[in-house]
Amino acid sequence: MLTKKQWLRKKRKKKYFMLFTITSLTLFILLMVLLMSVSVLKDMNITKFSLINFTRSANPIAKPEIMEMFLTPNDYSRPQTPLKKVNSIVVHYTANPKTGAEANRNYFENLRISKETSASSHFVIGLKGEIIQCIPLDEISFASNNRNEDTISIECCHPDETGKFNDSTYGSLIKLLAWLCKEYNLDRDDIIRHYDVNGKLCPLYYVEHEDAWEMLKNDVMAYIDENAAKDK
């Protein structure tokens, strides 16, 4: 027969044991939920806060106005092959004087029907400086031969057969190149011509006039420096 004091002590021990059991079980359940959540987030790549994402969030260069007119997925101009890394930006010219950005974009779109060749570009810059994006930046374009897998391509319209860009096209190209360079942590030497990939005379004027090409890259770097200074 337990005394009242012994009975109360036994009751307290039982209470403490129940509290300990409930607390332990709760912590165990929370731990399992946390582990499961991390696993799910990892599968979705949400836990990966990459350097490239950090660089993008800190980009001091304002993104230029871009019209997204993505091509229909197809084997001839938008194969949807992942672009896993960007090492360079390739500048092209359309070789089709007086045509605009949308007309050249539509040519790429029509290749899914005509199937005459494989060609496309991430961006097309028009005669009025308009920028049309044809392909998302996480997919390759068919523009730069063996460098398709690690480059972003920009096609530029031009008013005549010399291939020289007018002021509007040139100005938008500088802004787009500057933004992309900061977005992907690229430098002056990472801006290249189609000519630098395989010797094709593209962009024609900037192959035939090396000084103009060097000036173009200088203008990009100057634009970056000017905007970086404003951001401080």
List, for residues 195-215, the tens digit of each pLDDT value: 999 999 999 999 999 999 999
pTM of the model: 0.75
Residue 39 has a pLDDT of 57
- Cα separation, 29 vs 36, in Å, equals 11
Sign for the CA dihedral angle at 171, 138, 136, 111 comes to positive
Which of 22-26, 36-40, 65-69, 171-175 has the least mean pLDDT?
36-40
Does position 7 have pLDDT exceeding 70, yes or no? Answer: no
> Which string of DSSP letters, residue by residue, matches 62-109?
PPPP-EE-PPPPBTTTB---B-----EEEEEE-SSTT--HHHHHHHHH
Residues with Cβ < 8 Å from 156, sequence gap 6 or more?
91, 92, 93, 94, 124, 125, 165, 169, 173, 203
Mind listing the pLDDT tens digit for each residue in 146-165?
999 999 999 999 999 999 99
* DSSP E strand stretches across the chain: 67-68, 88-93, 123-125, 131-133, 151-156, 191-193
* Third-level CATH fold of 56-231: Lysozyme-like (3.40.80)
Give, as one character, the DSSP assignment of residue 139: B
pLDDT in tens, 53-88: 334 447 889 999 999 999 999 999 999 999 999 999
Q: What is the pLDDT of residue 213?
A: 98
DSSP helix/strand/coil, 173: helix
**Terminus-to-terminus CA distance in the chain, angstroms?**
82
If one counts every other C-beta atom within 10 angstroms of the C-beta of residue 28, the result is: 10
Residue type, 107: Y
